[in-house]
Amino acid sequence: MPHSADASRPASPLAHLIYFEPRIPGNTGSAIRLAAVTGARLHLVEPLGFDLSEAKLKRAGLDYHDLAVMEVHPSFDAALGALPGSRVFAFTTRATTRYTDVEYRPDDILLFGPEPTGLPDDVLTHPRVTDRVAIPMLPGRRSLNLTNAASIAVYEAWRQRDFA
């Protein structure tokens, strides 16, 4: 079972990953695994489209649940309140800034929306959103899988830190 961050865990060397109202347990399980292998901190914003004890979530996360740092927040504002000085990069297909054009800092937030709708307009226009960023795709394609997109972003942020 995923757990909340606590004082005994070291600070993350990577950006924070926020899933806004995720719907698919397998994607969130994969995000738990991503957090475990990279050191990123995963934040989930409620409501969730599944129960955290769901088998698909556990199966996708394999045995990495105890190695990941994850927090669940009752709202987007609560998640942002837990990370008051962080810049927020909202990943959306409706952006002109490429994810590779950002110089990431360790306290940045990489924000991703729910499957299949993406981030709603009120989140994209939230005053804390620093910029909207996109991962390039071929024309006419709708989107990447949520955790595939998050993996691309997390690894770019880590690459910029020389995988420290």
In angstroms, rounded to a whole number, what is the distance separating the alpha carbons of residues 116 and 103? 28
The answer for residues whose C-beta is within 8 angstroms of residue 139's C-beta and 6 or more apart is none
Q: Is 24 annotated as a binding residue?
A: no
Strand 109-112's sheet: what is its strand order? 69-73, 41-45, 16-20, 109-112, 88-91, 129-134, 97-98
Q: Is 135 annotated as a binding residue?
A: yes
Take residue 98 and report the two structure tokens written for it. Answer: 């490429």
**Binding site residues for S-adenosyl-L-methionine, as ranges?**
113, 135, 143
Q: Which residues are annotated as a binding site?
A: 113, 135, 143
